[in-house]
């Protein structure tokens, strides 16, 4: 995933996400939480949907069950995101293809933390 994806939305983020958010922030990324069940995550306003988030979004990081990932990918396409990252275990080939067809970069079934650790070696 390109390093110039500086603003990232995390779908289904929750308060247990503190470690990952700190790592993103340490690398200069801005993480915006999206979760209709949370008003605030780690001191930052959480949005109910991708469409509600103001400003340009570079990457949508999806932490949803595979059967729910397609809706998040479709929202990412609709808001003009540059990329989608479906976390480890999140697999939806049809949604990934829709994103590719719309011109988005796609990572599927990979953990951002593991990729970060692997690249540091």
- For 94-117, how does the pLDDT look when each residue is reduced to its tens digit (9 = 90+)? 999 999 999 999 999 998 777 767
d(CA 14, CA 33): 8
2 occurs within a structural domain: no
Kindly state the tokens that stand for 80.
Answer: 């003009």
85 neighbors 62 (Cβ within 8 angstroms): yes
In a domain, 31, yes or no: yes
The parent domain of residue 64 ranges over 7-120
Please write the tens of the pLDDT for every residue from 42-100.
Answer: 777 888 999 999 988 888 988 888 999 999 999 999 999 999 999 999 999 999 999 99
Strands 40-41 and 44-45: antiparallel
pLDDT band at 3 (very low <50, low <70, confident <90, very high): low
CATH number, residue 48 = 3.40.50.720
Q: Is residue 51 part of a domain?
A: yes
Domain tally for the chain? Answer: 1
Rounded Cα–Cα distance for residues 46 and 36 (Å): 8
Examine the pLDDT at 12 and tell me if it is beyond 70.
Answer: no
Does residue 111 fall inside a structural domain? yes
In a domain, 41, yes or no: yes
Q: Which residues contact 40 (CB under 8 A, 6 or more apart)?
A: 46
pTM over 0.85: no
């Amino acid at each position: 995933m390109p390093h110039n994806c500086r603003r990232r939305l995390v779908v289904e983020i929750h308060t247990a996400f503190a470690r990952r958010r700190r790592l993103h922030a340490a690398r200069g990324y801005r993480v915006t939480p999206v979760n209709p069940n949370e008003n605030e995550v780690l001191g930052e306003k959480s949005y109910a949907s991708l469409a509600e988030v103001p400003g340009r979004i570079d990457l949508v990081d999806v932490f949803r069950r595979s059967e729910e990932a397609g809706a998040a990918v479709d929202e990412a396409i609709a808001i003009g995101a540059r990329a989608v990252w479906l976390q480890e275990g999140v697999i939806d080939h049809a949604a990934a293809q829709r994103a590719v067809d719309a011109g988005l970069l796609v990572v599927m079934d990979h953990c951002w933390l593991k990729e970060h650790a692997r690249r540091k070696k």
